Amino acid sequence: MPESVMKKIEAIIQPFKLEHVKEALKAIHVDGMTATEVRGHGRQKGHLEVYRGREYQVDLIPKVKLEMIVSSARAEEVIQAIIKAARTGKIGDGKIFVYDVGDAIRIRNDERGDAAL
Amino acid sequence: MNWPRLAAATLLAAPFAHAQSTAALDSELQKLKAAVAASQSAGDNAWMLTSAALVLMMTGPGLALFYCGLVRKKNVLGTMMQSFIMMAVMTLLWAAIGYSLVFAPGTPFLGGLDFVMLNNVGTAPNTDYAPTIPHLTFMVYQMMFAVISPALITGAFAERMKFSSLLVYSIIWAFLVYFPVAHMVWGKGGYLNAFMGGAVPVLDFAGGTVVHITTGISALICALVIGPRRGYPHDPMKPHSLVLSFIGACLLWVGWFGFNAGSALAASSLASVAFVTTHLGAAAGAIAWLIAEQWHNGRPSALGAISGAVAGLATVTQGAGFVAPFSGAIFGLAGGFVCFYMVVVVKQKWGYDDTLDAFGVHGVGGIIGATLTGVLATSAYNDAVKLADGRMAQIGAQCIGVAVGVAFAVVGSWIALKLTAAITGGLRMETREEVQGMDLVIHGEEGYNLDA
């Protein structure tokens, strides 16, 4: 199998960093993305909530998951832009995962691969 | 018409009006007296109708919002309905027979049947209870207490009681607990109403014993008999919207002015005393709970603030019109601290699932308030306070009131639950239904269709 020409970049970030990241991606002309409100945790610990003496350890905390497909040549540039915009230096900043993408198809007109992005 | 000016003119003119006979003057005087009485009646009636509406507002939306925010979102409508349905069911039950069994002349333990179906309840005042307002106003004001009482109990079995069981239980409960206790404390000739021909002089201004002790203790019995929610206390059961609870609690606070100040049964200076006392009770209750919480958990919570206010209000209810206004703060502080301890420490330790703390707040607050009323009652603001046999005797009388209220609630609720289970084939929803939630299973709806 030849090396993939496209990469999927999946970034899980702090919700309050969403606008920064969006602006940074717009600045380098990343045109499409999908954002999802998710809950999860990595090494960041959750928090304790107390309601009338009943304690709840909340482990899964709100995050935003951003997904976008870019050509492999641009992947590193996009990753660096996300890191720069989303980093606070504190625990809980999130993670970025990169996947190979087999193909992309634009439903409107059958365009494939890079052209469909 | 300007009555004072007319009166002055009449009096000044009198010595010179030789032609005017004494009879004519008498007739004029009678007209004036009638006009003064009519004005007072109009003022009292305006306040009492307003108070009745305020107390209804406590049930819906007040209590409905307060309670529904504390449950999980799958049960939001079911919980609101448990309060709302009382506005329909208890209204009709009260008009049909409840009012008569509480306030019509009868035995020391239950009223008679003179007022069944609102017979003999018209616009003329019932001079035994409220001589300046229409009998209908008195009846409908007292109705609102009968509406909110069973709604308060629903906090104990929230998220698991069948709707049919709720209806049957509430109706039986009204007959076995509310009607007898309300008659004993407030009815003419009632056993605990020595001020009107009864045996024991229990001071209960606005229903600390009649409403809060009976409902709070009944709530505990319900929680014990029905058992905890599936998964309690292991599964997470966070309140789904403290915002709703917050609005509900604030409506309860405002509505409580109708509950307590309205219990003066007139737009009188006594109503002002009860109003201020009540307000101080709520404020001190909120502060006390927050202080306890800060010390216990390290954080003052919003839920704590509103819970404390409601605890303070439940506690001050019994004494509101019998004590010096600033004593309201003492009721509030006592209620806030003790109810906090019951809800946060004792309940967690004993493990019963009084889901929304109907016992911990209303039962406990009611008992503290009943006792404190004996300690703090003074004739300075209310002639009804006699303390004829001394302070200790009054405290003793208050304790008898508590004991009777508790006994009726324990026995009455237990019988009501057993009868209900037999009639409806079980008190609670099946496990599968409880997991799915009341809204879908009972009502076939959802509270939040955010994708609709």
Q: Which residues of B touch A52 (CB under 8 A)?
A: 303-304, 307, 343-344, 357
The two tokens of residue B172 are 């039986």
Q: Which long-range contacts (CB under 8 A, 24 or more apart) does B126-132 make?
A: B128/B188, B128/B196, B129/B103, B129/B188, B129/B265, B130/B44, B130/B48, B130/B265, B130/B266, B132/B37, B132/B40, B132/B41, B132/B44, B132/B45, B132/B266
CB B157 within 8 A of CB B222: yes
Residue A67, burial from CB neighbour count under 10 angstroms (0-12, 13-18, 19+) = middle
CB B156 within 8 A of CB B217: no
| Residues 6+ away with beta carbon under 8 Å from B348 | A53, A54, B233
Residue A103 inside a domain? The answer is yes
The 10 Å CB-count burial string (b at 16+, else e) for B281-301 is bbbbbbbbbbbbbeeeeeebb
Average pLDDT estimate for B170-184: 98
Looking at the predicted structure, is the pLDDT value of residue B256 above 80?
yes
Among B2-11, B74-83, B288-297, B369-378, where is mean pLDDT lowest?
B2-11
Residue A48 inside a domain? The answer is yes
Looking at the predicted structure, is the pLDDT value of residue B9 above 70?
no
Residue A18 inside a domain? The answer is yes
Residue A14 inside a domain? The answer is yes
Average pLDDT estimate for B342-356: 94
Instruction: Given the cut 0.85, state whether the ipTM is greater than it.
Output: no
Predicted pLDDT of residue B145: 98
Region for B233 from its dihedrals, namely left if φ exceeds 0, alpha if ψ lies in -120 to 50, beta otherwise: alpha
Count the Cβ atoms, other than its own, within 10 Å of residue B356.
28
Strand order in the sheet with A6-13: A34-40, A61-71, A6-13, A94-101
pLDDT band, residue B16 (cuts 50/70/90): low
Residue A98 inside a domain? The answer is yes
Residue A55 inside a domain? The answer is yes
pLDDT band, residue A43 (cuts 50/70/90): confident
- Looking at chain B, the whole-number percentage of residues with pLDDT higher than 90 is 92
The two tokens of residue B339 are 């109810």
Looking at the predicted structure, is the pLDDT value of residue B347 above 50?
yes
Q: In this complex, do A53 and B345 lie within 8 Å of one another by their Cβ atoms?
A: yes
Q: Which one of A50, A52, A56 has the shortest CB-CB distance to B236?
A: A56
Which secondary-structure segment (H or E) carries A61?
A: strand A61-71
Compute CA distances B418 → B90, B162, B410, B411, B423, whole Å: 21, 14, 12, 11, 9
How do the residues of chain A divide into helix, strand and coil, expressed in percent and rounded to 5? 25, 40, 35
Looking at the predicted structure, is the pLDDT value of residue B303 above 60?
yes
Domains and CATH numbers, chain B: 50-439 (1.10.3430.10)
The per-residue pLDDT for range A62-87, each reduced to its tens digit, is 999 999 999 999 999 999 999 999 99
CATH number at residue A75: 3.30.70.120
CB B141 within 8 A of CB B53: no
Nearest CA in chain B to A58: B236
The two tokens of residue B307 are 């819970």
Torsion angle of C-alpha atoms B115, B117, B122, B125, degrees rounded to 10? 30
The per-residue pLDDT for range B212-226, each reduced to its tens digit, is 999 999 999 999 999
The two tokens of residue B392 are 């200790």
Residue A58 inside a domain? The answer is yes
Q: Which of B340, B344, B354, B361 to mutate to test the interface with A (most CBs of A within 10 A)?
A: B344
Predicted pLDDT of residue B433: 96
| Residues 6+ away with beta carbon under 8 Å from B60 | B80, B83, B84, B87
The DSSP string of B234-250 is TS----S-HHHHHHHHH
Q: Which residues of A touch B343 (CB under 8 A)?
A: 52-53
Average pLDDT estimate for B92-110: 98
DSSP letter for A60, please. Answer: S
Q: Which residues of A touch B238 (CB under 8 A)?
A: 49, 51, 56
Compute CA distances B26 → B9, B14, B33, whole Å: 15, 11, 10
Q: Whole domain around residue A66: which residue ranges?
A: 6-116
Average pLDDT estimate for B117-131: 97
The per-residue pLDDT for range B182-194, each reduced to its tens digit, is 999 999 999 999 9
The DSSP string of B384-404 is T---TT-HHHHHHHHHHHHHH
Among A32-36, B16-20, B296-300, B440-444, where is mean pLDDT lowest?
B16-20
**B374/chain A closest Cα distance in angstroms:** 30
Residue A1 inside a domain? The answer is no
pLDDT band, residue B5 (cuts 50/70/90): low
Q: State the average pLDDT for chain B.
A: 95
* A48 touches B at CB < 8 Å: no
Q: Which residues of B touch A56 (CB under 8 A)?
A: 236, 238
Residue with tokens 């009482």: B149
CB B110 within 8 A of CB B183: yes
* A49 touches B at CB < 8 Å: yes
Predicted pLDDT of residue B260: 98
**A52/chain B closest Cα distance in angstroms:** 6
Nearest CA in chain A to B353: A54
Nearest CA in chain A to B346: A53
Q: In this complex, do B303 and A53 lie within 8 Å of one another by their Cβ atoms?
A: no
Predicted pLDDT of residue A1: 43
Q: What is the tally of structural domains in chain A? A: 1
pLDDT band, residue A116 (cuts 50/70/90): confident
